[in-house]
Amino acid sequence: MAEILVPRPAATVVTLRERENGYEILMLKRNVLSDFVGGAYVFPGGAVDEEDAGDLAQSLCVGMNDESCSAALSLPSGGLAYYVACLRELFEEGGLLIACDADGQTVDISNRVLVDRLNDERVSVNDGSLGFLEMLAREKLFLDLRNVAYLAHWITPIGPPRRYDTRFFVTVAPPGQHADHDNQETVASRWLRPSDALAMRERGELDMLFPTVRTLQSVASFENAQAVVDHAKALTSIERTEPRVVERDGRVEILLPGDDGYAN
């Protein structure tokens, strides 16, 4: 019997920006050479790292602490690391920094010296020569969790060579910041209305994972970005969803809990 891999803790963030008559979501295209979902359009995210937890992470976050984050995720402890991970990945992969100063003021993107320095530091964070939290401490900045909300919980089904236990979050991009893929793990970036992204996927123009599709479907009806975040903040119970991949009559099907045949 093949070994069943234990899913690795991970976090991803659905990042929104307001537009006339609606809002858009940041979608990144994974490098086709990636050994995990190469070529697919995804939300920024990745595995939770050891440095996403601990005293330094706690000291560099505002709006929530490990106790409140863990309660939101129904964990005994360690919840803050997921929130830190999703915002770290957003900065690394998408170039957006959800941060504020000691007074709670959003990062001032009119300060070109600071912005240029953050762009240079992003390169160092991505090549591993500078820690993300070290960068924040150096800049006297704090991760702003006040408008980051827990949205969904997906587990990679048994079968793929890598499995992740992923918490999905949602937030609104800071006004004025420019999203840009890193040209390493991600090779393209697009802001898309949820309905447009789903239509492009139906036409075969975008490759997406099943949880990505379901997440887009779950938020497509909201009128604006903040309404999506407020919806997520109001959720009182989020179920862990682990799809099953089965073959029926020569076709591959994805089953969810409650579907006929899921428990077989």
Question: What is residue 1's predicted lDDT score, i.e. its pLDDT?
Answer: 42
In the structure encoding, which two tokens stand for residue 233, read together?
A: 């903040």
SS3 217: helix
Strands 251-255 and 99-100, how do they pair? unpaired
d(CA 52, CA 60): 11
Strands 164-172 and 149-155, how do they pair? antiparallel
Question: What is residue 110's predicted lDDT score, i.e. its pLDDT?
Answer: 80
Residues of the chain above pLDDT 90, percent: 73
Segment 190-240, tens digit of pLDDT: 999 999 999 999 999 999 999 999 999 999 999 999 999 999 999 999 999
- In the chain, where are the structural domains located? 16-255
Q: Which residues of the chain have pLDDT under 50?
A: 1-2
The set of residues, in sequence order, having a beta carbon less than 8 Å from that of 252 and lying 6+ positions away, is 245, 246
Question: What is residue 264's predicted lDDT score, i.e. its pLDDT?
Answer: 66
Predicted TM-score (pTM) of this structure: 0.93
Please name every residue paired with 149 in a beta bridge, in sequence order, or none if there are none.
170
The set of residues, in sequence order, having a beta carbon less than 8 Å from that of 116 and lying 6+ positions away, is none
Classify domain 16-255 at the CATH superfamily level: Nucleoside Triphosphate Pyrophosphohydrolase (3.90.79.10)
